[in-house]
């Protein structure tokens, strides 16, 4: 089992990735990221069975959304969000059409995102590689809808 370091940082204005990954990301459904400002996008070519550890800074005045995009043939994935000081609140949202995580904190902290792909081989027992992207969006807490509580 290999560990892949994801370190290619992308911005909204310059996607410096392989043509395969660029096309994959362009075709992906990003509707669950609507309303969130792009904080970070990390992209890597990974094989089924690979693992990656990604560092991500988060601030208390923002709420974050983390979404994983991967090519279907890579199989299932697991994401663990670790904060050594236990300062974060993390909720996984998963239904038929969406899968993402909501993250917030009371203090500035550094997260470790542990991403692992299930081992999956073709009929010829070959492993295929494919594009995997980790999207991190944020919204200022002041921008969140304010709900009046009626008592």
- pLDDT confidence of residue 98: 83
Exposure b/e, 69-91, CB count within 10 A at least 16 = b = bbbeebbebebebebeeebbebe
What three-state secondary structure class fits 33? helix
Residue 103 is classified by DSSP as: E
Which domains does the chain carry?
3-141 (2.60.120.380)
Query: How far apart (Å, rounded) are the C-alpha atoms in residues 97 and 116?
Result: 21
Confidence of residue 135 (pLDDT cuts 50, 70, 90): very high
pLDDT: which is higher, 36 or 147: 36
Report the candidate in 113, 91, 105 with the shortest Cα–Cα distance to residue 59.
105
pLDDT over threshold 80, residue 22: yes
- pLDDT confidence of residue 12: 32
Could you read off the pLDDT of 34-53 as tens digits, one per residue?
889 998 889 888 988 899 99
pTM comes to 0.77
Could you read off the pLDDT of 75-126 as tens digits, one per residue?
889 999 988 777 778 888 988 888 899 999 888 999 999 999 988 766 677 7
Q: What percent of the chain has pLDDT over 70?
A: 81
- pLDDT confidence of residue 103: 92
Mean pLDDT of the region 146-150? 43
Phi-psi sector, 30: left (phi>0), alpha (psi -120 to 50), beta: alpha
Mean pLDDT of the chain: 80
- pLDDT confidence of residue 2: 43
């Amino acid at each position: 089992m290999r560990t892949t370091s994801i370190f290619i940082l992308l911005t909204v204005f310059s996607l410096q990735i392989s043509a395969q990954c660029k096309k994959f990301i362009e075709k992906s459904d990003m509707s669950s990221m609507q309303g969130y400002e792009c904080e970070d996008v990390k992209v890597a070519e990974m094989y089924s069975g690979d693992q990656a550890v990604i560092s991500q800074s988060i601030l208390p005045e923002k709420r974050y959304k983390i979404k994983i995009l991967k090519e279907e043939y890579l199989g299932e994935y697991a994401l663990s969000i670790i904060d050594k000081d236990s300062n974060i609140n993390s909720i996984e949202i998963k239904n038929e059409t969406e899968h993402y995580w909501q993250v917030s904190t009371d203090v500035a902290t550094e997260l470790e995102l542990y991403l692992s792909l299930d081992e999956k081989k073709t009929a010829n027992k070959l492993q295929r590689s494919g594009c995997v992207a980790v999207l991190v969006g944020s919204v200022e807490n002041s921008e969140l809808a304010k709900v009046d509580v009626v008592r």
